[in-house]
A and B are shown apart, each in its own frame.
Chain A
Amino acid sequence: MSGRIDLMGEAALLVRWPAELAAAGAPLAAMAALQREPLPGVIDLVPAIDSLLVCFDPLAVDRDHLTARLQMLAAHPPLTALPAGRDVTIPVRYGGVDGPDLDEVATQLRLTPHEVITLHTATEQRVLMIGFAPGYPYLGWLPPELHLPRRATPRVAVPAGSVAIAAGMTGIYPTTLPGGWHLIGRTDVTLFDPAADPPALLQPGDRVRFVNAEAQRGQRRRGGKRKNAKGAEDAKRFERKDAEGG
């Protein structure tokens, strides 16, 4: 069981792994290996659900060397050396105007809205990839009880901060964008800030836990919001409270 490598033009190679290796984290493990020992001429690495796109300057790279490295990683991704990732907490206001699809999602899944929220907040999700739009994270995987396909008709404009589920994953819209996922809530966290380094809040491999902002007795929690003194203060207050509460 090994991945395959295909040309994506003369300046990129696409490595794809079979489902089992992909689910075990092969794309992120291979990316981490290529970051630890970078090859001259490699410009960009784009991890995705079951693949890694390696972009390079064809006039600067040693193609034979690169191909040999990738063949190795395709066959034996160093799964034991998966990047640790950071823990990120994202507060969400579920349902109502912030999550207009929550009730419909619950009906489709034969759950109550409360059960959907409980399942969504109980599951630690990993950032599988960033794509679609700057800073848009694909998080997985959701428990089978929350699996449902995309909406039949996509929305023309999904508000920024919307937290949405589809195809076993959660996505968060960094800005107002068209979208076909089911909107179950909304967050105030800034997902993409071109002036920040790195600009995207979430990186592949990070572990995300969603918390129900409303359940915190109206106290607003803005854990991930950067460049916002008040947000940072709120987050600190919360850490203390968590500590006190045990």
Chain B
Amino acid sequence: MDRFALAAANRLVGNRPDAPALELTAGGVQIRFGAPMLIGLAGADLDAQLDDAPLAPWRSAIAPAGSVLRLRGRRGDWGGRAYLAVAGELAAEWAVGSAGTCLAGGFGGYQGRALRAGDRITVEPRSCTAADGMRWWPVGRRPAYCAQPRLRVLPGPQHDMLPEAWEQLLKTAFQVDQAASRQGYRLAGATLPTHQLSLPSFGVVPGAIQLPPDGQPILLLADAQTTGGYPVIAVVIGADLPLAAQLLPGDRLAFTATDLATAHAALAEQAAWLAAGPEDDESGQLLAWAGSW
């Protein structure tokens, strides 16, 4: 869902940005490491602890053999998904060119399903040395995560057929409904104008805001279907999808119109951050840890 945080977590441990990693939603998870590993955590602050020490996101750390990572749940006023990368190769089932889990199709990732207590994930660890160092992502090189984000949108292909809906979308505060998944969020809190438009299905993308006839918009996300028939009145720009990915049911959000040039510039900026990579942690304390195994 949050592709920036996924790439950031991988870059913390020297993996390629799109290497398989774990998406940890809303917290309530414990992970035991069977061997010492260099790990990277990025995304939401879900109150992580490695054994008894707090572990801030957007940093790498050494998880000693037998250590337990606990994510208890949202700390602060935003965030829903954290990404855990380990230096090396996470064993995942590849299908259709991806190691991701297709929940709807029941394939890929880990047996085509969400992880459950007791599952064991194999890691082919890459040997790490102190030279790998401990790294972190400064706040200035992360998307502008916040509570009640204002997501930037471009007009969708049907915005001119439903001009009132497009205008109201930009003036209205919404809430993520309980009906929220990786496929999309139904948006509650306000109703846009209802309509009777019936269209032949067409290709859709993550970020598309569909308007079903009942006027309750749907924001499509990472696991969006490839085609849909509801009018698409707006599309959230790629650079703001990480912000959308961090919302949980009940969270508020709003939309603001932007233009193509801004969308491009924002995307290019994020790509440049990721290309530059994380910074070395200069405290040096963790380096001592790294040298010890």
A51 to chain B, nearest CB (A): 4
B232 x A8 contact (CB < 8 A) = yes
Is the C-beta of A235 less than 8 angstroms from some C-beta in chain B? no
A175 to chain B, nearest CB (A): 7
A49-B201, A53-B203, A53-B205 known; A8-B157 Cβ under 8 A: yes
B108 x A7 contact (CB < 8 A) = no
Contacts of A49 in B (CB 8 A): 200-202
Contacts of B117 in A (CB 8 A): none
CB contact list, B176-212 vs A, under 8 A = 200-205, 207-208
Q: Which residue of B lies closest to A13 (CB)?
A: B157
Cα distance, A195 to B268, chains bound together (Å): 35
Is the C-beta of A97 less than 8 angstroms from some C-beta in chain B? no
Cα distance, A59 to B208, chains bound together (Å): 20
B102 x A129 contact (CB < 8 A) = no
Contacts of A7 in B (CB 8 A): 154-157, 235, 260
Q: Which residue of A lies closest to B260 (CB)?
A: A10
B203 x A10 contact (CB < 8 A) = no
Q: Which residue of B lies closest to A130 (CB)?
A: B226
Is the C-beta of A14 less than 8 angstroms from some C-beta in chain B? yes
Give 14 CB contacts A-B under 8 Å: A8-B157, A9-B154, A9-B208, A9-B237, A50-B200, A51-B202, A53-B202, A58-B263, A58-B264, A59-B267, A132-B225, A133-B225, A199-B95, A199-B96
CB contact list, A122-149 vs B, under 8 A = 129-134, 138
CB contact list, B17-53 vs A, under 8 A = none
Leading 5 A-B pairs by shortest Cβ distance? A53-B203, A46-B203, A131-B227, A9-B235, A6-B157
Cα distance, A194 to B97, chains bound together (Å): 10
Is the C-beta of A82 less than 8 angstroms from some C-beta in chain B? no
